Amino acid sequence: MSTAMNAGPTVATWPGLAPRLLRTEAGVETLAEYRGAGGYTALSDPQELLDEIGRAGVLGRGGAAFPTAVKLATVRRAALRGVDTVLVANGEEGEPASVKDRWLLRHRPHLVLDGLRLAAQIIGARHAHVYVSDSLAAQTIRSALDDATTDALDGITVGVRTVEAGYVAGEETAAVRAINGGPAKPTDKPPRPFEEGVGGLPTIVSNVETLANLPFVHRYGALSYRQAGTDGSPGTFLATLTGGGRGAGLYEVPFGTPAAELFELHGVPAQQIRGALMGGYFAGMLDRRILDGTLDHAALRELGSGLGCGAVSVLTEECPVAVGAAVLDYYSRENAAQCGSCFNGTAAMAAAAAALRDGVADADDLARLRRWSVVLRGRGACATLDAATNIAASLLAMFPDDVARHLDGRCPDCAEAPFTAQRPFEVESL
């Protein structure tokens, strides 16, 4: 069985909620349309906006959910000391099961550029980069930059840097390295980009969805921003939903929404759900307890998982063991091949999981996989190895009965045609 989403995704706003990030109109939002809706409003006081972003509680949408105001403030302090700074809008969407960043760049380029403009002014940057691997996204952003007047961007110059797509290419040090002329692969830390980034200058690398939230805060304020979401996870986020025998869906969802409601909106009956692959691939796997969970950072941490980039793949017919093996094989192929612990560790975990899927693993193989899922965590230069250990650990913890069946070689789902997708639940087109 192989699962890839070839048709363009369903794009829908949440019932009863005025959209902040999505638009239901077809095509690319023009400069006139965006300005007519209040876009590119002049910024009179960058510090005041920074404070408002802090009060709004805007969290990063790239996966780590780090407070955006704290990140911006760190580099703003360098600018106030007279140091030149740089902003990078990161749209290199490395998670195959996620489509939100490509959609924003292709359909709402001015919303992204407006957020970039605001963030750049907060940190005192006069130059910024949009970093992408999707050629149509790059073309759309370049066209939007051609249309935008100098006053719209407040004099900030913006370059577009394109790279080959890859799981590690979206990591923040990989983005900096690529813009500096090197390969799109992570570097050791420290220094981190906020210390020494593009051109050796303090640099903010911010996900494009994160930046796309800033114009709302600028226009309406923190209280309005917090009218959706939870105290700990305010606002809305873009959820990419795949699996369940349906095409992909892109939904703007208030944080704190019950996962079961999102699945219902997507048309996947609860009784068919075996579990879910969370945060793209990074946050690991959950069993049916996802049906009792809510889509916010605190609630998912309590379940032993995470929201990550907002991508959720529903498991229905797919065997969780086979899905886990496919994802680990993906990590074995996609690692940067720079760290021995990651290069060898992902390969070893992938081989053990494949043996388990194929019914030829023994108790020693399982014990090794369990040990590797613990001792390899934190050993790589980037988060790829951590992501692989998340998959291995969550598979063993969440699906012990499926693991036991495979250990005995008696999984009915994998007897004839096991799930073997090279890029599980990939969203291939828009």
Q: What pLDDT, on a 0 to 100 scale, did the predictor assign at position 4?
A: 36
Q: What pLDDT, on a 0 to 100 scale, did the predictor assign at position 379?
A: 87
What are 337-350's pLDDT values in tens digits? 899 999 999 999 99
CATH fold of 21-225, please?
Rossmann fold (3.40.50)
Tell which residue, 264, 233, 236, 234, has the closest CA to residue 249: 264
Gap between the Cα atoms of 81 and 294, Å rounded: 43
Gap between the Cα atoms of 350 and 35, Å rounded: 50
Tell which residue, 430, 292, 417, has the closest CA to residue 3: 417
Q: Write down the residue that tokens 């020693």 correspond to.
A: 364
Residue type at 321?
V
Q: What is the mean pLDDT of each run of 10 residues along the chain (430 residues)?
A: 52 94 92 95 97 98 94 97 97 95 97 98 97 97 91 92 95 97 93 96 98 98 98 98 93 97 95 96 96 96 95 96 97 92 95 95 96 92 92 97 93 89 88
Q: What pLDDT, on a 0 to 100 scale, did the predictor assign at position 24?
A: 82
8 Å CB contact between 21 and 252: yes
Q: Please provide the CATH number assigned to the domain covering 236-315.
A: 3.10.20.600
Tell which residue, 188, 212, 174, has the closest CA to residue 60: 212
Gap between the Cα atoms of 195 and 290, Å rounded: 38
Q: Residue 40 gets which letter from DSSP?
A: S
8 Å CB contact between 133 and 61: no
Output the average pLDDT for the chain. Answer: 94
Q: Indicate left, alpha or beta for 330 from its phi (over 0: left) and psi (-120 to 50: alpha).
A: alpha
Give residue limits of the domains in the chain.
21-225, 236-315, 320-420
Angle at 140 between CA 137 and CA 145, to 5 degrees: 125
Q: What pLDDT, on a 0 to 100 scale, did the predictor assign at position 325?
A: 97
Q: What pLDDT, on a 0 to 100 scale, did the predictor assign at position 197?
A: 97
Q: What pLDDT, on a 0 to 100 scale, did the predictor assign at position 6?
A: 40
Angle at 335 between CA 388 and CA 343, to 5 degrees: 80
Q: From the options 3.30.930.10, 1.10.286.10, 1.20.1440.230, 3.40.50.1700, give the CATH code of 320-420.
A: 1.20.1440.230
Tell which residue, 115, 95, 118, has the closest CA to residue 105: 115
Q: Write down the residue that tokens 């079961």 correspond to.
A: 260
Q: What pLDDT, on a 0 to 100 scale, did the predictor assign at position 281?
A: 95
Residue type at 359?
G
